[in-house]
C-alpha cells in the first residue's frame, strides 16, 4: 500500500473524517453525497415554527431507481430553483437537509453512518440500508402542489 494521501479516484483517504468542509476539493465534496435522493424530495415548511417535513413528491429530474438527478450537470436549465449546495452555502441551507445527509452531518461535526458509500465502499449500501427513496417517490408533475401535504413521510425512511 502506498503512502500517497490521494487514492485512485483523486480523493484523499478518509477525507470525510479529517477535512473541514471548506477544505474539500470539488471531487471530495461531490463524493460526500450518499445518493439517497432525499434532498430531491419536495419539502413543506411550517411558516410559524420553521419545521421542515419531507414529502414523497420528487423533483421531476429525480431518477426513482438510482436516486440521482437525471440531469445533474444541467439541472438548472430545467429546475432554475434547484439549490446549489456548497461549503459556502451550507450554513444557510443545512436546516432543510435530511437528518441522514452527509453534508448536514459533517456541517454539524458528526460522523457519517456506516451505510454511507464512503464507509461501505459501495453505492448500493444506502439502498440496502433502507435510507434512500428508491421506489418510493411520486413525480411532482403527477401531484397538485396543494396536495403535497397528503404525501408527508417520516425521515429516516
Q: What is the pLDDT of residue 7?
A: 54
For the chain, the domains span 15-153
- SS3 string, the chain, reads CCCCCECCCCCECCHHHHCCHHHCCHHHHHHCCCCCCHHHEEEEECCCCCCEEEEEEECCCEECCCCEECCHHHHHHHCCCCCCCCCCCHHHHHHHCCCCCHHHHHHCCCCCCCCCHHHHCCCCHHHHCCCCCCCCCEEHHHCCHHHHHHHEECCCC
Q: In sequence order, what are the residues at sequence separation of 6 or more whose Cβ sits closer than 8 angstroms to the Cβ of residue 16? A: 28, 31, 32, 102, 106, 112, 118
Would you state the pLDDT for residue 155? 80
CB burial of 65-87 (b: ≥16 within 10 Å; e: otherwise) equals: eebbbeeeeebeeeeeebeebee
Cell of 5: 494521501
- CA dist 124 and 131 (Å) reads 11
pLDDT in tens, 111-133: 999 999 999 999 999 999 999 99
**pLDDT tens, N- to C-terminus, the chain (157 residues):** 444 454 557 789 999 999 999 999 999 999 999 999 999 999 999 999 989 999 999 999 999 999 999 999 999 999 999 999 999 999 999 999 999 999 999 999 999 999 999 999 999 999 999 999 999 999 999 999 999 999 999 886 5
Burial of 113 (0-12, 13-18, 19+ CB in 10 A): middle
Amino acid at each position: 500500500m502506498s503512502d500517497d494521501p490521494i487514492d485512485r479516484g483523486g480523493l484523499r483517504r478518509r477525507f470525510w473524517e479529517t477535512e473541514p468542509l471548506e477544505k474539500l476539493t470539488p471531487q471530495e465534496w461531490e463524493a460526500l453525497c450518499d445518493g439517497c435522493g432525499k434532498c430531491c424530495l419536495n419539502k413543506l415548511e411550517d411558516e410559524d415554527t420553521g419545521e421542515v417535513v419531507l414529502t414523497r413528491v420528487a423533483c421531476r429530474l429525480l431518477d426513482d431507481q438510482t436516486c440521482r438527478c437525471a440531469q445533474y450537470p444541467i439541472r438548472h436549465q430545467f429546475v432554475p430553483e434547484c439549490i446549489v449546495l456548497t461549503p459556502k452555502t451550507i450554513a444557510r441551507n443545512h436546516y432543510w437537509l435530511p437528518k441522514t445527509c452527509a453534508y448536514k452531518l459533517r456541517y454539524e461535526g458528526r460522523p457519517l453512518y456506516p451505510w454511507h458509500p464512503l464507509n461501505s465502499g459501495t453505492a448500493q449500501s444506502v439502498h440496502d440500508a433502507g435510507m434512500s427513496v428508491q421506489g418510493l417517490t411520486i413525480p411532482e408533475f403527477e401531484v397538485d402542489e396543494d396536495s403535497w401535504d397528503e404525501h408527508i413521510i417520516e425521515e429516516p425512511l
